[in-house]
Structure 1
């Protein structure tokens, strides 16, 4: 792969939209999703020799993407905590901005509802959030999700069940408040 730029270009062409959409689902900022997309393909390029083909290339790239996103979120949260304690920040804008993004397929009039939905999704624990997003936003089947998350299909089914139940509860509260505020 490293010696074949055409092969790497094909890999990028085949998977960059998938990687970007997955990153956008996690990060909800287009610039951050673009940065993660670049980082993922740098990692893929550097690690291609280590790919052991135990999983499909698609699930391997998903796993790299999710790990990069989770690392990015952890790093960002660490900076936010540091900002709160030190009351200084290199970039005050970066520390104060809230999720605001244009997700593909979301119309302007649904932006508020989408924001409520993604707040609820983001409140799920890491495994439930990952399983839910891979299933509902990326359209992966349970066996593919299990491969990406390196777990069993029954564990994925359990995570999805708990994620849906939790979202149902959180969204019923949030949308009730949303409806009251709109009245």
Structure 2
């Protein structure tokens, strides 16, 4: 039987102390997510809090990042309005990647078989040239291959090979490499 009162954060490392976490939440909610915050400032704020962010990265407003120090983003990548990077574990996004509006990359989960519902987290990797389309979800432990597409509204719970499209109904088909 599940006993949620026995859940603890035992074994989970947030990567920074409470003061830095609180400061990030204040900056994220008051400045980073705001429509008036310039994209260059968003990149600078992520870097200031420990993210590795490449050149010419575009981050739109309403993007949420749980822990910047667990985020790596390659050159020329776009992260669309309202995307949520729920990165309890590292998220690595390659070069020339598009994470579209309201997409969710979630590295956290729970062990539903354990009475204490303990964490079962795992990192996410999005390889160069991939596209996570609008309102798509990539779950803990998945890798999105080079030039693969997680279609609008699709849920990815396992690795997606390069040059493959995952559709919202779970179908997969090959895609051509961009010219």
Is this a same-fold pair by TM over 0.5?
Answer: no
TM-score calculated relative to the size of structure 2? 0.26
Higher relative contact order (CA 8 A, sep 6+): 1
| Richer in helix (by share) | 1
Larger Rg: 1
| Richer in strand (by share) | 2
